């Protein structure tokens, strides 16, 4: 199992990067930089690449609607170049609230667009002349839709690798099947090891049946909160606001993928309550309504023996990368927790 960690997009970025060397020594393998409606991830990933030597870097995630496919490929190749082959391209559809509400782009056909983007990226990385006739992307643009002067081009530079790993963020059955079919990795949200097979097993099996063996085994990247110790239990409540935001506030009624996931896990009543409270502005009450057993299931929080049991449960469910979110209040404690986790997964 690899150990990863996301860097917050809400502030303190430079301070967090300054600590990455210590996290490397503690056993961190890869760092993920998200991109929501915050600072862009690319400039921050380049900054990390310049400040680290061994640590892998990944976008976690870039939204598929905000860049052209070829720009996504160019950006990934550029980050792989400046990091000497340490970059992983994490992409995902995000949701209508971000894509339409912040970027002003229509949220349409996420599955088909994702498949085409991955195809185009891999063509660019192989330095082929890019020719793509898809439903959503046409390269070069046909004369009837442009000047007629466009000709197929290939990337000028020689990428470090002709196949940069692609990780798809996905939680819906069709998106998960697509990840298992075409990507090197899959990044679900709020992964519940004991219920993963029931919720995602059929989709993973469907996609895996069409998977090219050259892609290798699917890297399953999950993001549990982390705090180890006899006194760590109370820290789990720090995760309540984030779950309430996603389950309750990331989309309107009937259009919230994370609320749907909570329902698929078996928390139909709680999911409805959280959404009602959150959308009515009662965010603290929504956070308090997040079920304690759901928090425990998706977390690595508690005494060392309990965390070791949860690590075993994640491993048994097929997880290969733990993208942990340390909750401890001090850097020293967070580093110690990563070190202890490294010993558990080794």
Computed over every residue of the chain, the mean pLDDT equals 95
Instruction: Give 152: exposed, middle or buried? Use CB within 10 Å, 0-12, 13-18, 19+.
Output: exposed
Is residue 116 over pLDDT 70? yes
Residue range 88-112, pLDDT digits in tens: 999 999 988 899 999 999 999 999 9
Among 30, 77, 33, 5, CA closest to 324: 5
Instruction: Give 251: exposed, middle or buried? Use CB within 10 Å, 0-12, 13-18, 19+.
Output: buried
Q: What is the 8-class DSSP label of residue 274?
A: H
The first and second tokens of residue 185, run together, are: 């990795």
- Region of 256 on the Ramachandran plot (φ > 0 left; ψ -120 to 50 alpha; else beta): beta
Between CA 24 and CA 126 the distance in angstroms is 31
| 223 vs 10, residue with greater confidence | 223
Taking the CA atoms of the chain, what radius of gyration do you get in angstroms? 20
| 15 vs 310, residue with greater confidence | 310
> Is residue 160 a contact partner of residue 85, using CB atoms and an 8 Å limit?
yes
Confidence (pLDDT) at 308? 98
Please give the model's pTM, rounded to 2 decimal places.
0.95
The residue-averaged pLDDT of 149-154 equals 95
Pairing of strands 132-133, 138-139: antiparallel
Between CA 333 and CA 346 the distance in angstroms is 20
Residue range 209-256, pLDDT digits in tens: 999 999 999 999 999 999 999 999 999 999 999 999 999 998 889 889
Q: Which domains does the chain have, with CATH numbers?
A: 2-233+299-345 (3.20.20.30), 234-298 (no CATH)
The H or E element containing residue 315 is helix 304-316
> Is residue 30 a contact partner of residue 88, using CB atoms and an 8 Å limit?
yes
Confidence (pLDDT) at 169? 97
Is residue 23 over pLDDT 60? yes
Is residue 9 over pLDDT 60? no
Between CA 128 and CA 174 the distance in angstroms is 29
The first and second tokens of residue 262, run together, are: 């909570």
């Amino acid at each position: 199992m690899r150990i990863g960690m996301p860097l917050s997009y809400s502030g303190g970025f430079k301070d967090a990067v300054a600590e990455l060397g210590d996290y490397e020594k503690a056993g961190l393998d890869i760092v993920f930089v998200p991109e929501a409606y915050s600072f862009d991830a690319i400039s921050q990933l380049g900054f990390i690449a310049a400040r680290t030597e061994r640590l892998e870097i990944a976008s976690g995630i870039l939204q598929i609607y905000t860049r052209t496919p070829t720009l996504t490929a160019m950006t990934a190749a550029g980050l792989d170049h400046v990091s000497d082959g340490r970059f992983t391209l994490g992409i995902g559809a995000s949701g209508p609230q971000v894509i339409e509400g912040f970027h002003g782009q229509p949220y349409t056909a996420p599955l088909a667009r994702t498949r085409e983007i991955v195809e185009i990226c891999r063509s660019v990385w192989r330095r082929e002349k890019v020719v793509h006739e898809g439903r959503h992307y046409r390269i070069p643009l046909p004369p009837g839709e442009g000047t007629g002067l466009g000709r197929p081009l290939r990337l000028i530079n020689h990428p470090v690798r002709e196949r940069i790993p692609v990780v798809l963020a996905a939680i819906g059955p069709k998106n998960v099947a697509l990840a298992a079919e075409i990507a090197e990795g899959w990044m679900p949200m709020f992964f519940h090891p004991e219920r993963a097979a029931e919720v995602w097993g059929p989709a993973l099996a469907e996609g895996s049946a069409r998977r090219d063996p050259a892609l290798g085994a699917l890297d399953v990247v999950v993001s549990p909160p982390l705090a180890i110790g006899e006194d760590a239990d109370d820290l789990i409540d720090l995760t309540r606001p984030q779950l309430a935001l996603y389950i309750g506030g990331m989309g309107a009624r009937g259009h919230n993928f994370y609320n749907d996931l909570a329902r698929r896990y078996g928390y139909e009543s709680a999911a409805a309550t959280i959404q009602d409270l959150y959308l009515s502005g009662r965010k603290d009450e929504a956070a308090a309504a997040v079920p304690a057993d759901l928090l425990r299931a998706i977390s690595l929080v508690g005494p060392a023996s309990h965390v070791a049991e949860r690590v075993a449960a994640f491993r048994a469910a097929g997880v290969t990368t733990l993208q942990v979110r340390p909750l401890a209040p001090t850097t020293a404690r967070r580093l110690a927790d990563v070190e202890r986790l490294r010993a558990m997964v080794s």
